[in-house]
Structure 1
Amino acid sequence: MTNGTGLGGRKATPRLWLAPAVIVSVVMAVLAALYLGGTVNSSDHLSAFPVAIVDADTGVTTASGQRADVGRQIAGSLREGIDHDKFDLRSLSLAEAKHELGRAKLYGAIVLPPNLSRKLTALASGAVSGAAVERPEITVYTNPLANTSSASVVNTLANRALTRADHAVGKELLAKVTAARAKAAPAHGRAVPGTTRLVLSAPMDVRVTPFQHVPDGTGNGLSAFYYALLLVLAGFTGSLIVANLVDAQLGFAPKEFGPRYRMEPHSGRSRLATLALKWGIMTGVAVVVATVYLAIADGLGMPLDHPWQLWGLSVLAITAVAVVVQSILALLGSLGMVVNLFLFIVLSVPSAGGAAPLEATPSVVRFLGTFEPLHQIYVGVRSVLYFGAVWDAGLGRAVTAAAAALVLGLGAGVLGTLAYDRKGLARHHGAPSMELPAAA
Structure 2
Amino acid sequence: MTWTTDEDGEDTRPGWDHKLWAIPLIIAMGLLSLLALSYLGSVLHPQRNLHDYPLTLVNNDRGEYGGEVAERVRGALPHDQVRLQVTDAAEADRLMSLGSVYGSIVIPEDFSARLTALAEPGPGPAAPPGIELQTNPRAGATAVTLTTQLLTPVLDGINRQLGTAATERARTGGVPLSDAALVTLAEPVRIEATQHAPLPEGTANGISAFYYTLLVVFAGFTSSTLINVGVDTVLANDQTLSRWRALLFKWALIAVVALVMAGCYQLIASALGMPIDHRLALFCFSTFASLAVGMTALANLAVVATVASALRLPVLNNLGTPINMLAFIALGLPSSGAIMPIQAVPRLYGALAEFEPMHQVYLGVRSILYFDALAAAGLTRALVMCTVGVVFAVVVGVLTTLGYERWQARQAPAEAQD
TM over 0.5: yes
Distance in 1 between residues matched to 2:333 and 2:165, nearest whole Å: 50
Does the 8 Å contact 2:50/2:81 carry over to 1? yes
Distance in 1 between residues matched to 2:257 and 2:145, nearest whole Å: 40
Which residue of 250, 273, 278 corresponds with 1:278?
Answer: 250
1:197 aligns with 2:192: no
1:154 aligns with 2:139: no
Which residue of 282, 285, 301 corresponds with 1:313?
Answer: 285
Cα displacement (A) at 1:341: 1.1
Does the 8 Å contact 1:34/1:365 carry over to 2? no
CA deviations over 1:57-112 (Å, ceiling 9, x no partner): 111xxxxxxxxx10100101111121011111110111111111111001000100
Cα displacement (A) at 1:214: 2.2
Which residue of 356, 363, 375 corresponds with 1:379?
Answer: 363
1:123-272 → structure 2 map (5 Å cutoff): 123-125=118-120, 128-181=121-174, 192-250=177-235, 252=236, 265-272=237-244
Counterpart residue number, 1:408: 392
Cα displacement (A) at 1:307: 0.4
Q: TM-score, normalised by structure 1?
A: 0.86
- Secondary structure, aligned partner of 1:38: helix
Which residue of 72, 75, 95 corresponds with 2:70?
Answer: 75
Counterparts in 2 of 1:11 and 1:162: CA distance versus 1, 3 Å = closer
Looking at secondary structure, tell me which structure has more helix per residue: 2
- Secondary structure, aligned partner of 2:339: coil
1:37-52 → structure 2 map (5 Å cutoff): 37-52=41-56
CA deviations over 1:194-235 (Å, ceiling 9, x no partner): 111111111110010111212111122111001111111010
- Secondary structure, aligned partner of 1:356: coil
Which is greater in Rg? Answer: 1
**How many percent of aligned residue pairs carry the same amino acid?**
34
Distance in 1 between residues matched to 2:18 and 2:396, nearest whole Å: 35
Counterparts in 2 of 1:241 and 1:7: CA distance versus 1, 3 Å = farther
Which residue of 338, 345, 348 corresponds with 2:329?
Answer: 345
- Size of the aligned set, in residue pairs, is 395
Distance in 2 between residues matched to 1:293 and 1:425, nearest whole Å: 45
Counterpart residue number, 2:347: 363
Counterpart residue number, 2:110: 115
Counterpart residue number, 2:26: 22
Structure 1 window deviating more from structure 2 (191-200 vs 141-150): it is 191-200
Counterpart residue number, 2:415: none
Structure 1 window deviating more from structure 2 (302-311 vs 161-170): it is 161-170
Distance in 2 between residues matched to 1:93 and 1:148, nearest whole Å: 25
Distance in 2 between residues matched to 1:216 and 1:54, nearest whole Å: 29
Distance in 2 between residues matched to 1:244 and 1:14, nearest whole Å: 24
Cα displacement (A) at 1:132: 3.3
Counterpart residue number, 1:56: 60
Distance in 1 between residues matched to 2:5 and 2:271, nearest whole Å: 56
Q: TM-score, normalised by structure 2?
A: 0.90
Structure 2: state its 5+ residue gaps.
306-316, 411-418
- Secondary structure, aligned partner of 1:53: strand
Which residue of 99, 103, 111 corresponds with 1:104?
Answer: 99
Counterparts in 2 of 1:350 and 1:3: CA distance versus 1, 3 Å = farther
Counterpart residue number, 1:256: none
The one-letter amino acid of 1:89's match is: L
Counterparts in 2 of 1:425 and 1:103: CA distance versus 1, 3 Å = farther
